[in-house]
Structure 1
């Protein structure tokens, strides 16, 4: 049976601030747990005024204290920004605080531009080209490999599930080679989805962590009790994608605008249709139909649902409708 999880960007809302965003994130984690979602993930982004989750491990600890059973994880940590030892210590600490609940998704992209990358001062290795070696170094810290000459504390022996994230064929190939679960970012970069999943499944090599392929795919759901409301509240997400794809900075999540998509020129409508290919906007019946088709298309073991909605209560309602729809379509 397909599992369902949540990807939370810890959005800073237009007219609000980071403190409120992080309070909502803990609230959402507890709500997701009460609904029965399998995981709560958040992701590393830097220099983006609309996202409050740059310090992922701290945000996960915050959510961990508000929950008791839901799995918590990074979707993901952009490993080229960090020394693998530091990540082993951070996620080893999370595992000590919340035993058996921690996932660590690893990405190769920097999650920022070159100015932010320089400010992070990650200049000890070759950056993204060093990614496979950094992943294996991280595995060695968690395994307590004696060849390291010292023990990562916390870290060694931690029960942290590693994942490879991606939006291209590269991540699929690496996840298959290392025998790790693979999460594809189809919620914002769907173009290579089918080919990446085929490569991952074809080339997968069993490992100590995983004996057969395991796929998670990202999917946007903006659901409401009426289609008209869903279309309206989805315009916040659509504005964000348009702004980012036309050179704008990742500012606070904007308020919805009635008739937003209809106001766009044809080229931007086409861009939205492409980038939001893995999305459902509508009522429970719409989401039920769309999710079933997406699961049938991908054969995904797990769907991680994103929902960029300005009104927090509407966002919670959307996640509730999404899980209702998923259970009906299962």
Structure 2
């Protein structure tokens, strides 16, 4: 059973904004609490709604913090009667200043950037900004982007790491490596989060090995422990060089993948390609050969497996073996499941 109080606050407040904008004559508090997502699940007719009333007042304050003014309209029959007061948001007052304009594509890209971070690692200020973009109609239309926004997976470690980076504090975490059953503990000075090869990396100074290290957030196992100890601020100067090293490593490990035109595989991989993709067998081909650099062959193989028949490895042979091994494991697992049934 779903917890009725578990609706994320951003979803509830955004639903409130929509209700207040689309009701030109306004809505009473009772109408809002009984119908808006995030309130209605807990509203019970005839019962005292003190907790919901307080939540409604807090949400109005949050809207004011966003610069969104909630208008109150007294009842002409009983001025001052709070039960009959109506609330609304003027769409005109919700708009951006006249001198600030975004194109449709810019709004979509901003929204996509917000989706990339999601709730767990997006700052409170950025979440509020993303919600305001939504209220202004910045819907996500993939057709206007030409890429597939497969960004729903939150990196659980990102929030703690970014907080430690901002505070200059040392962190500890478990880190898994291919072929090892148990994670290894790492203790590092976190310097920067950097996205490369389609994945987030932590650039850091490894305190145990006294060397620059890059860690994939996807391989961090369990919670990140932020210590009270601080690292030398001068270490931050190493971050730019660490980014260059990461990119050199990626470029030194090229792979060529054959993708079906119009597929999610094409949308995801072409944006990371080195140079222009080429038709697999001349003009008019239904497939393209995409060459790109990779940092983690095992994770890249898992990504390719997820594309199914829309992607096939051309080179290198080692990557083809990883994909084939992964497909065999999936086939074996399904075979065992079918046998058990």
Q: Tell me if both proteins adopt one fold, taking TM over 0.5 as the criterion.
A: no
Q: Identify the structure with the greater strand proportion.
A: 2
TM-score (norm 1): 0.22
Structure number with greater Rg is 2
Relative contact order, higher structure (CA 8 A, sep 6+) = 1
